[in-house]
């Protein structure tokens, strides 16, 4: 049974593909391998996936309608759409990239998916859609969404497109997953854990925004992937729905930094700064819905997850 995974060379895409391959599924993965961050890291992920005969890769830009036609030769039962232009802050200076990939690209993939005899179309949304001045914890039923960035706005648009298609098309099983601050081995270099670890090891200062008064619902990659796996195989609502996938227990940013220092056995050089544009003070997922409906149970706490990441980082970069 074939599964299409977009953004397969990305952090979440790589781990998701590996999970399905390890469980006996055939994965066709696509990615445009852009240079938003180190392409060598993306290539290293692909090399691991390429060790399996159950993996096929195509270098494809999802915003190119003609380019994605190569996928029409396959018969997919599931589509997991994870490709996107990531980064909240990058969207402020490079808005065009988000319109091209997150809107045009999303529409191209969801339109293509309707050509297949699918069971489910599962796509990545984001906790950023809840935005600023919202009640904590974030609940899927909230309607007063107030996005603080263009990135968040494109994710709201994705959910709206999927909702509308579920109302007017024959195929209706669209499911959006609102991820909360994903971290772990093979993570993105623009994310806090990666940046802090690199800077501390290199005796460089790290920048802490809002003077450290931030809370994040840090969610380990294996827990995120388990949520994707459960929903992809078991979603049967015959309509569009959304789910938070988070740890459900936010921690203070400075506690996160202290754990990094502990496992590196090295103190950070810190510069405190004001809140950045596009950022929010706190994220906290209410995960009752995914727990009740799919038995989702996040297992990895920050102390264990950070330790695993640092072990991977030191091994990959030969420290």
151 catalytic residue (yes or no): yes
Phi/psi region, residue 75 (left: phi>0; alpha: psi -120 to 50; beta: rest), is beta
119 close to 77: Cβ distance less than 8 angstroms = yes
Q: Strands 120-126, 205-209: parallel, antiparallel or unpaired by DSSP? A: unpaired
Of 2, 84, 72, 81, residue with least CA distance to 36 = 84
Q: How far apart are CA 138 and CA 309, in angstroms?
A: 27
Q: How far apart are CA 223 and CA 184, in angstroms?
A: 10
Q: How far apart are CA 96 and CA 87, in angstroms?
A: 13
CA quadruple 229, 136, 186, 267: dihedral sign: negative
Q: How far apart are CA 30 and CA 8, in angstroms?
A: 6
CA quadruple 13, 14, 17, 23: dihedral sign: negative
Q: How far apart are CA 217 and CA 223, in angstroms?
A: 12
Q: Which of 98, 151, 174, 183 is catalytic?
A: 151
Would you call 250 helix, strand, or coil by DSSP? Answer: coil
196 close to 206: Cβ distance less than 8 angstroms = yes
Among all residues, which ones are annotated catalytic?
151
């Amino acid at each position: 049974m074939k599964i299409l995974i977009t953004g397969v060379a990305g952090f979440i895409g790589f781990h998701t593909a590996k999970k399905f391959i390890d469980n006996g599924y055939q994965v066709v993965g696509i990615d445009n391998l852009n240079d938003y961050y180190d392409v060598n890291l993306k290539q290293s992920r692909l090399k691991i996936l390429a060790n399996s005969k159950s993996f096929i890769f195509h270098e494809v830009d999802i915003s190119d309608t003609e380019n994605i036609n190569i996928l029409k030769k396959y018969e997919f039962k599931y589509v997991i759409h994870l490709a996107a232009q990531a980064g909240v802050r990058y969207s402020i200076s490079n808005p065009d990239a988000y319109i091209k990939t997150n809107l045009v690209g999303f529409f191209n993939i969801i339109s293509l998916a309707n050509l297949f005899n699918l069971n489910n179309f599962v796509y990545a949304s984001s906790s950023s859609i809840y935005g600023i001045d919202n009640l904590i914890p974030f609940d899927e039923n909230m309607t007063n969404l107030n996005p603080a960035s263009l990135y968040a706005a494109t994710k709201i648009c994705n959910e709206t497109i999927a909702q509308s298609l579920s109302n007017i098309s024959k195929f209706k099983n669209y499911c959006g997953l609102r991820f909360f601050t994903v971290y772990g081995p093979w993570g993105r270099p623009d994310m806090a854990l990666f940046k802090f670890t690199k800077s501390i090891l290199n005796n460089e200062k790290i920048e802490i925004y809002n003077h450290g008064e931030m809370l994040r619902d840090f969610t380990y990659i294996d827990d995120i992937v388990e949520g994707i796996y459960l929903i992809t195989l078991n979603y049967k609502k015959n309509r569009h729905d959304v789910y938070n996938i988070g740890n459900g227990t936010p921690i203070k940013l400075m506690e996160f930094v202290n754990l990094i220092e502990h496992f590196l056995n090295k103190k950070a050089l810190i510069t405190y700064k004001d809140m950045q544009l596009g950022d929010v003070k706190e994220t906290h997922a209410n995960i009752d819905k995914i727990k009740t409906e799919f038995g989702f149970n996040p297992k990895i706490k920050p102390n264990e997850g950070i330790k695993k990441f640092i072990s991977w980082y030191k091994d990959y970069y030969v420290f």
